[in-house]
Amino acid sequence: MQPFETFNSQDKQAIQYVLFDIDDTITTAGKVTSDAYNALWTLYDAGYYTIPVTGRPAGWCDAIIRMWPVKAIIGENGAFVYYRIKSQIQRFEHPSVASGDYRSKLNLIQNTVLEKVPDSRVAKDQFCRIYDLAIDFNEDPPYLGLEAAEQIRQICADMGAEAKVSSIHVNTWFGQYDKLSMALLFFKQVLNVSEPRKCTLFFGDSPNDEPMFRHFSYSCGVANIKPFAESMKHLPTYVTQSESGTGFAEAIRHFVQI
């Protein structure tokens, strides 16, 4: 991973879209800090197409597309996109999102995880979710660590579900999609961009961002990605000096000034 300060003005000319994770990428200790939020406004006002790409639930995504300086938001790890066409908010769903009685299968996974992993619990934002189940291992105390997160992920996978570890939750769902597959589908079918690889800059912080790091030519991890590095096959091209929202703001200051 190269320091983001090495990102140069020639590369900047190619960028039209800025995609970013939310938790621990633009937030610090759970809050969107003023410097990170101002960085979003800087990008938005400069005309970049800003898209959060998050595991957070549909209810949060509805609020974010209405209130934040973003053009679209990919939610629940790729299940859907909320986006604006002028003043109208639209929803675009991935074609492989679960149908039928998928909630009972998620409930079975939930019960199994809570039984087998001490102190695990359902995330407090679960009531806002449509397609997935979020198990909290690191958002609220007690903090369980990555070993417990991997145990949770493995239980979900063994029960036939997709599962990804973020910095705070293990998200699990039924359907063949992730953040990257939905981002590419949205680019192609809604934005009419067939190959966004070289015109997109992506920011993330954890293993569930790995497909995005792998695909996009320009990707950056905030510094708190470093503890995950040994367990990841695909790291971002760049990394910031600072962690979380401070690191994101640091990168955007460099990006807009070069």
What is the CATH classification number for the domain harbouring 120?
3.90.1070.10
Among 153, 173, 193, the domain-final residue is: 173
Q: Judge if pTM exceeds 0.85.
A: yes
156 band by pLDDT with thresholds 50, 70 and 90: very high
Indicate if the pLDDT at residue 86 is higher than 90. no
The domain tally of the chain equals 2
What is the percent of the chain where pLDDT is above 90?
94
Indicate if the pLDDT at residue 207 is higher than 90. no
244 band by pLDDT with thresholds 50, 70 and 90: very high
Q: Are residues 51 and 69 in the same domain?
A: yes
DSSP-assigned letters across all residues of 209-255: GHHHHHH-SEEEE-GGGGGGGGG-SS--SEE-SS-HHHHHHHHHHHH
- Give pLDDT tens digits for 107-147: 999 999 999 999 999 999 999 999 999 999 999 999 999 99
Q: What is the pLDDT of residue 231?
A: 86
Residues 25-33, mean pLDDT to the nearest whole number: 96
H-helix or E-strand containing 134?
Answer: strand 133-136
Indicate if the pLDDT at residue 87 is higher than 90. no
Indicate if the pLDDT at residue 243 is higher than 90. yes
The letter for the amino acid at 97 is V
Q: Are residues 65 and 117 in the same domain?
A: no
Among 147, 173, 199, the domain-final residue is: 173
Instruction: Answer for the pair 126, 106: CB distance below 8 angstroms, yes or no.
Output: no
Q: Are residues 106 and 64 in the same domain?
A: no
Q: Are residues 79 and 158 in the same domain?
A: no
Q: Are residues 203 and 91 in the same domain?
A: yes
54 band by pLDDT with thresholds 50, 70 and 90: very high
Q: Are residues 134 and 156 in the same domain?
A: yes
**What Rg, from alpha-carbon coordinates, does the chain have?**
17
Which of these, 205, 193, 192, lies nearest to 238 by C-alpha position? 205
Q: Are residues 88 and 191 in the same domain?
A: yes
Residue 158's domain comprises 102-173
Angle value at C-alpha 89, between 100 and 22, nearest 5 degrees:
80
Indicate if the pLDDT at residue 208 is higher than 90. no
Among 173, 196, 211, the domain-final residue is: 173
Q: Residues with Cβ < 8 Å from 82, sequence gap 6 or more?
A: 61, 62, 64, 65, 72, 73, 75, 89, 90, 91
Q: Where are the alpha helices (DSSP H) in the chain?
A: 9-12, 34-45, 58-67, 102-116, 145-158, 179-189, 210-215, 244-257
